[in-house]
Amino acid sequence: MSALNSSLLTNISFVRPEYFFISGFSGIPFINYYFVFLVFIYIIAVFGNSFVVVMIISDRSLHIPKYLGIFNLALADIGETNALVPNLIKTFLFDSQYISYDACLANMFFVFFFSGVQALTLVVLAYDRFIAICLPLRYHAIVSNSVMSVVLMGVWSFCTAFVGTTVALITRLSFCKTIVLKSYFCDHGPVYTLACNDNTVNSVMAKLCSTLFIYAPLIAIIISYLGIFLALSKITTWAGRLKALKTCVSHLLVVGVFFLPIIGTYFAAYVTMSLHPNARIINSSLSYAVPPMLNPIIYVLNTKEFKVLILKILKKRSSKRPQVLAK
């Protein structure tokens, strides 16, 4: 009888707040300069990734499996940047740290969704490099445009299902303690830990999210590169090794930019046992905001096909200018 009364009391006291208060950047010195820096990052990220998307769409020579993966990564970068940074800019411009309950869940979904797509796309690109170097004669038979398209569609579908389930489970929680989120966006962890009722399922989903989108992808990428380095060791000449390794440089840089800041933040929190909230917030926000800005720069500067295409565009423009002046 007491258990029944307890259950009824829980149902009656179920609370879903109208809004949350995001306190992430409160009390950080010179935070206005950081917001200006975020605006700078946002502009470069959007234009840079849009440039990569347009280049891949417009040039048929880039319609190959590797560039389908890069195209997918650029789309995810644009999505994550637009899911995260505009809300931070709104906070800076309008001094508004409140976000409605539904908008909070939407923000949570899109940030984690696009971040997950990025992580899994990096695994797909690592697989592409592994097959290209370890099984070069079978590459076109194993990795085709259709196969890559199906794999990338699988990535988007999996991220939609998993992240959607994770966010949907937040709706079963009752918030009767506080509405203050100690984060810079509607982060999953700070939200579910505010709940008054049992949040064990949400805690399990949070751990699964970290495993599936951080640890498992990183381990898969490391294993693929161990195979690549083993294959490179069998090449007799250093010139041959360097030529094969150059095709991996851009991907390795992007992997480092994406995973190292996140792993570094987790490691610092583990070693020091308690990372200062301001340090965690700054590090985490940079971990989400900086990779989408750097990824297009890395690929454009380190990829031969992009360089050749840019040179062609510049030559066409320079050849048209004298004709215009002559008229």
Exposure string of 272-289, with b = 16+ CB inside 10 Å and e = fewer, is eeebeeeebbbbbbbbbb
DSSP 61: G
Contact 84, 146 (CB under 8 A): no
Q: Strand locations in 82-170, DSSP E?
A: 98-100
Nearest to 225 by CA among 141, 120, 132: 132
Residue in 46, 82, 53 with CA at minimum distance from that of residue 70: 53
Distances in Å between the Cα of 81 and the Cα atoms of 22, 75, 101, 207, 214 are 18, 10, 21, 24, 18
With respect to residue 75, please indicate whether it lies within any of the assigned structural domains. Answer: yes
Residue 28 lies in a domain: yes
pLDDT of residue 170: 95
The enclosing H or E element of 128 equals helix 101-134
CATH of the domain at 62: 1.20.1070.10
| 231 occurs within a structural domain | yes
Asked if the structure places residue 145 within a domain, the reply is yes
pLDDT classification of 309: cutoffs 50, 70, 90: confident
What CA–CA distance (Å, rounded) separates 96 from 88?
Answer: 9
Strand 98-100: give its sheet, edge to edge.
Answer: 98-100, 19-22, 180-181
Please give the residue that has the higher pLDDT: either 123 or 268. Answer: 123
Report yes or no on 325 lying in a domain. Answer: no
Higher confidence at residue 155 or residue 321?
A: 155
pLDDT above 80: residue 242: yes
- Which pLDDT score, from 0 to 100, does residue 207 have? 94
Whether residue 10 has pLDDT greater than 60: no
The CA-based angle 42-43-46, given to 5 degrees, is 80
Inter-residue contact 298 to 254 (CB < 8 Å): yes
In a domain, 7, yes or no: no
Joined together, the tokens standing for residue 315 give: 């030559």
pLDDT of residue 81: 94
Tell me the C-alpha distance between 257 and 280, whole Å. Answer: 17
Instruction: Please state, in angstroms and as integers, the Cα–Cα distance from residue 218 to each residue in 34, 157, 171, 222, 286, following that order.
Output: 29, 20, 31, 6, 19
- What's the mean pLDDT when you consider all of the chain? 85
**DSSP type of residue 211:** I
Checking if the pLDDT of 162 tops 60, the result is yes
Residue 17 backbone zone (phi > 0: left; psi -120 to 50: alpha; other: beta): beta
Q: To the nearest whole percent, how much of the chain has pLDDT over 90?
A: 49
- Supply the Cα-derived Rg of the chain in whole angstroms: 23
Q: Which domain holds residue 282?
A: 18-319
* Helical (H) or strand (E) element with 185: none
Q: Is the pLDDT of residue 322 over 70?
A: no
| Confidence tier at 46 by pLDDT (50, 70, 90) | very high
Q: How far is CA 295 from CA 47, 50, 204, 212, in A?
A: 12, 12, 31, 22
Cα distances (Å, whole numbers) of residue 313 to 16, 50, 222, 308: 55, 16, 37, 9
Question: What is the mean predicted confidence (pLDDT) over 92-102?
Answer: 83
**Domain count across the chain:** 1
Q: What is the pLDDT of residue 177?
A: 79
Q: Is residue 2 part of a domain?
A: no
pLDDT tens, position by position, 164-215:
999 999 999 998 878 898 888 999 999 999 998 889 999 999 999 999 999 9
Residue 142's nearest CA partner among 124, 159, 156 is: 124
- The answer to whether residue 9 sits within a structural domain is no
pLDDT band at residue 75 using 50, 70 and 90 as cut-offs = very high
pLDDT band at 69 (very low <50, low <70, confident <90, very high): very high
> Residue holding tokens 């200062």?
276
pTM of the model: 0.88
Task: Look at residue 14 in the predicted model and tell me its pLDDT.
Answer: 75
Inform me whether the pLDDT recorded for 312 exceeds 80.
Answer: no
Q: Give per-residue pLDDT as tens, 259-299.
A: 988 887 777 666 665 666 667 778 888 888 889 999 998 88
